[in-house]
A = this chain, B = another copy of it.
Amino acid sequence: MSKSSVTPARTKRVGAQLTPEAIIEASLRIAARGSADAFTVRRLGEELGADPTAIYRHFRDKDELLLSVADRTLGEVLDSIPDGLDWKDRLRALAAGSLAVALKYPAVSSIMASRTTRRTNEFRVVELILGAVTEAGLDGAEAAVHYRMVGDSLLAHVGQRAAYLLLDPESRAGDESSWNREYRLVDAHGFPNITRLAQQLAEVTDDQIFHARVEALITAIEQRAAAVREA
């Protein structure tokens, strides 16, 4: 105890087959395969060529591993954002990057939709959004609330899309075709708007929705900043 607590960092065995890094990378490889139930401890062991339970020597439980993996994907998002953009385009780039990464690792981001990693890359994302709303002209409590609005909305939308990707094929088929089936058959008297817009509802694309949601966030910040400036 006396000596080991003096040099705790050196305790690492050189010949350790598994490292947190290797486990995280294997997790990403599995998550990228996309199939719904892909990311299990046993499959992770398979991918690593090791016993599944060996993972527990490096992460307390699957949740802690997941947080680490998720933070790694946040790093990918940040790397995709170019410098020199104004606040609006920075938020747009963040949104687009988040979506791309979420669709790349759906198993991860669907679970993380309502979590925080509390790790370094998350701090960088928070800083980025706060910088954007600050540049837009908000500060103090206003900035804090609008950061949370942007962060939570982005996370939620991206998690939604990822979760949808993970649905078993039959459930997804049911959801997908509903606009062309169930919604076409509703009673025209009771549901005039659905009846009138059935065709357009079936034609809406995910990208249109995503665009509308992102622009709504930007507009909201803009409006609030304008109101503050006036006061």
Contacts and interface: CB of A to CB of B under 8 A. Distances in A.
Interface of A: 63, 110, 113-116, 118, 123-124, 126-127, 130-131, 134, 140-141, 143-149, 152-153, 155-157, 159-161, 163-164, 167, 171, 174-175, 178, 182-183, 186, 190-194, 197, 200-201, 203-204, 208-209, 212-213, 215-217, 219-220, 223
Contacts of A186: 123
Given A186-B123, A194-B126, A219-B216, A147 B201 contact: yes
A149 B209 contact: yes
What is the interface of chain A mostly: helix, strand, loop, or mixed?
A: helix
Given A156-B160, A160-B156, A216-B216, A204 B145 contact: yes
Contacts of A161: 114
22 contacts: A113-B113, A114-B159, A114-B160, A115-B167, A118-B178, A123-B182, A123-B186, A124-B191, A127-B192, A131-B193, A140-B197, A140-B200, A145-B204, A148-B201, A148-B209, A149-B212, A152-B157, A153-B153, A159-B160, A216-B217, A216-B219, A219-B220
Given A127-B192, A144-B201, A145-B209, 15 more contacts: A110-B114, A118-B174, A123-B194, A124-B191, A130-B194, A131-B193, A134-B193, A144-B197, A146-B212, A148-B201, A148-B212, A152-B160, A152-B209, A155-B160, A219-B220
Given A123-B194, A130-B194, A212-B220, A204 B148 contact: yes
A215 to B, nearest CB: 7
Contacts of A141: 200, 203-204
Nearest to A209: B148
A6 B132 CA distance: 66
